[in-house]
Structure 1
Amino acid sequence: MKKSLIALAVMGASTVAFAASNVTLYGVIEEGVVVQKAKHQDTTVSLKSGFDQGSRWGIRGVEELGNGYSVGFILEQGFNADNGDQAVAGKQFSRESILYVTGGFGRFGFGRTGTLASGAQSNNILTGWALGTGFGLSAWTSFGGGFSRTDNAVFYKTPSFGGLTISAMYSNGYTGDDAKWSKNNHYYGIGAKYEANAIKSSLIFEAMDNKGTEVASKTAGSLFNIGQWAVVEGYDPAKLTDAQKDEYKAWAKTSLDDATAAKKRALMINYGLEYNMGAWTPMFAYQWFNQDGGKKTHMFGLSAKVGVAGGDILVGGRYLFGHDEALTGDDKVRAWNLGAAYIYPLSKRTALKAYAGYADSSKGWKDKEEVAYNGYQLYLGMRHSF
């Protein structure tokens, strides 16, 4: 009797292990100290969660269907390690929530995920900038354009053809699709990525039509919620600073006689190139951004990843020029920044990170009191993944 019970227990345990063998719990916790000062502002010292890599936990799984087909899912929630808050209030899986199918045709799926050039999530194909979309003012989107994660997305990625893949994405409503189609904010993206031997490169075109802003209104705030406003301004909606939130609140109270801010279409192209030379990898990146009634800019970046003393040095410099039609008076803008980071692995899962960056702007942005445009940042932190 005892042997039978033991055998049943072993079989039961084996069944559970087999059923769960393709489901993985994973995550990243990153926290450190940031010292920063924006132009005409006080120096601040604060604990910062996810300064480079956003703190998150997630579950992913895959089921093999046979004949080369499989179904998978990713559920990923962001959080702030310094206070335990959700990264995006009200969203249970704010970073990614997708279901997808793969096979000989490629990969097709839908849900909430990062846009093609967002630098985040499983559909990101951005290349060419060593500091990525993390590291504060050195993030590729800090003063350039950028679309972050989108709800109601459908995406497709082709199989690799000699290292070349094509990705396409459409969102039926960037933050919601409950209204009729013409009243939703739609995202469109198509991009190519080449990765073979020492070369990695990508070319991405993205658009946001912002159709949902075309409504009669008495205030600017009823035209754009804070997430939509952040996209238009080139901020990451998931990483808004207190100063940016205050900027939105002030702007949202602006009186409008009619829908004068309607149809703020945004277009963006990103190109990146990397060449792995062994000890170091030089990189080049370019962005063209065009926003109706807003920024029309060109941005160039040179950066590199260099292996030093068991870790990696990431260094990069960028220059942006163009116009910001939202400004009164001189709408010409110029901006540049320099940043360097060192990542030292203590183990396969744990690393120390240090960063320093400086930004300076001129023309219409010379007095912009934000650290990404005029200021400096210092960071020291630790990242652990599981």
Structure 2
Amino acid sequence: MKKSLLALAALGVFTGAHAQSSVTLYGVVDAGIAYTNNVGGQHNFFTSSGNLQGSRWGLRGKEDLGSGLTALFVLENGFNVFNGTLGQGGDMFGRQAYVGLSSSQFGTVTLGRQYDSVVDYTGPLEVGSQWGSYFAAHPADLDNMNNTNRVNNAIKFTSANYAGFTFGGLYSLGGNAGQFNRNQIWSVGAGYANGPLQLGAGYLNVKDPNYSFWGNNANSRSTTTTPSASNFPSSRVISGFASAHTLEVIAVAGAYTFGAATIGATYSNTQYKDVGTESGAGLNPVGYKGGSGKFHNAELNFKYQLTPSLLLGAAYDYTKGYGLSDAKYHQAMLGADYFLSKRTDVYVDGVYQHASGTDSTQHAAVANINQLSPSSTSNQVAAVVGIRHKF
């Protein structure tokens, strides 16, 4: 009898502890067939992973510590569904990896590889993070609204929700002895969501972006200690600015829903400052000796829930360079997303881009849709048909 009572007591303790903590396995598998009419003068059909959302699997855990305090962690891996390779430059948990504490009264503090405030508060309102696929992101994702880059070594605070208002900030330690500001990243932002209205604003400041922002993964071509090459994307929209000392982004966004329709808009000002400052072979082939590559970007997007299963979308984006580049990019997007269930949908998206002026490489600007190689002309078209499953 005593042994039975002890066993029941032990089981009760275990069950109580288990009820206060949990670990969840989750993920997205997104795959499609894509087409572009001009990559270096040739059309191309290709497989494309992670179109509406990056393909991923992750572990999310929490433990109730009592008095409104919770311990939490997230480990999230990105991958290419067509060949099984790691995403985010070869990092095992390249999408997110953090641990922290959360207070129901004040907010959450986390440590690890995380998203910046521009991504958190304005990213969800740009079309590339909704129904438009990564092709529909702003050219070269120059303002990081589409979450191309994460932040390593980050300390982050996210407030509790106060009647729809939230705010937060992030600071990343550079990690260079004797150089406190080297590779430093910081950002702040705020958002408001109440009923049909959603608003967001974010600021991002990145020192030495070739190393701290584009060079913070396993397959980086160049690091602060071995500055041998540019880590910037090949997109001519920004590739000429790899030697910039600072990247600065200011972004605002908003959306309003009326009935089955939602209209949204975003604006960002992005500046690659002091171009020519960073040393390293291949960082400055143009020979810049100062100045800044600057961009205004404005997007107007619209989506309509035609039926409970069918979503239609349209958007227009305009990018205007000034400073070291006067390139202009006009981009139009159309899309449709059909939900077979709550977790599985099929989609089709199309993007058209037209370029003019002089780009970051000081050549005549050519169309260069996000994540694609440059066109040989001022125009480029891309389309993708795919399926997404969430678990």
Task: Give TM class, smaller chain.
Answer: 0.7 to 0.9
5+ long unaligned stretches in structure 2:
213-220, 276-291
Give me the TM-score of the superposition, normalised by structure 1: 0.78
One-letter amino acid of the structure 1 residue matched with residue 246 of structure 2: R
Contact residue 61 and residue 72 of structure 1 kept, 8 A:
yes
Q: Which residue of 2 aligns with 1:185?
A: 183
Q: Which residue of 1 aligns with 2:156?
A: 155
Q: Which residue of 1 aligns with 2:126?
A: 129
- In structure 2, do the counterparts of structure 1 residues 317 and 369 end up closer, same or farther at CA, with 3 Å as the change threshold? closer
- In structure 2, do the counterparts of structure 1 residues 191 and 183 end up closer, same or farther at CA, with 3 Å as the change threshold? closer
Q: Which residue of 2 aligns with 1:313?
A: 312
Cα distance, 1:126 vs structure 2:
2.9
Runs of 4 or more, structure 1, over 4 Å off, are 14-17, 211-214, 220-228, 260-263
Identity percentage of aligned residues = 25
Q: Which residue of 1 aligns with 2:381?
A: 376
SS of aligned partner of 2:129: coil
- In structure 2, do the counterparts of structure 1 residues 363 and 185 end up closer, same or farther at CA, with 3 Å as the change threshold? same
Partner Cα distance (2:230, 2:98) in 1: 22
Matched length: 343
Partner Cα distance (2:159, 2:169) in 1: 9
Partner Cα distance (2:127, 2:65) in 1: 38
Partner Cα distance (1:229, 1:180) in 2: 24
Contact residue 358 and residue 377 of structure 1 kept, 8 A:
yes
- In structure 2, do the counterparts of structure 1 residues 205 and 130 end up closer, same or farther at CA, with 3 Å as the change threshold? same
Contact residue 116 and residue 124 of structure 1 kept, 8 A:
yes
One-letter amino acid of the structure 1 residue matched with residue 320 of structure 2: F
Contact residue 183 and residue 213 of structure 1 kept, 8 A:
no
5+ long unaligned stretches in structure 1:
215-219, 236-242, 252-259, 326-330
Contact residue 21 and residue 64 of structure 2 kept, 8 A:
no
Give me the TM-score of the superposition, normalised by structure 2: 0.77
**More moved, 264-273 vs 134-143:** 134-143
One-letter amino acid of the structure 2 residue matched with residue 93 of structure 1: F
Cα distance, 1:89 vs structure 2:
4.5
Partner Cα distance (2:244, 2:53) in 1: 33
2:333 is the counterpart of 1:339? yes
One-letter amino acid of the structure 2 residue matched with residue 361 of structure 1: A
One-letter amino acid of the structure 1 residue matched with residue 127 of structure 2: A
Partner Cα distance (1:11, 1:268) in 2: 54
Cα distance, 1:165 vs structure 2:
1.2
Cα distance, 1:261 vs structure 2:
7.5
**More moved, 83-92 vs 46-55:** 83-92
One-letter amino acid of the structure 2 residue matched with residue 345 of structure 1: F
Contact residue 122 and residue 252 of structure 2 kept, 8 A:
no
One-letter amino acid of the structure 1 residue matched with residue 53 of structure 2: Q
Contact residue 39 and residue 371 of structure 1 kept, 8 A:
no
Q: Which residue of 2 aligns with 1:196?
A: 194
RMSD of equivalent CA atoms: 3.4
Contact residue 336 and residue 348 of structure 2 kept, 8 A:
yes
Contact residue 268 and residue 298 of structure 2 kept, 8 A:
yes
One-letter amino acid of the structure 1 residue matched with residue 129 of structure 2: G
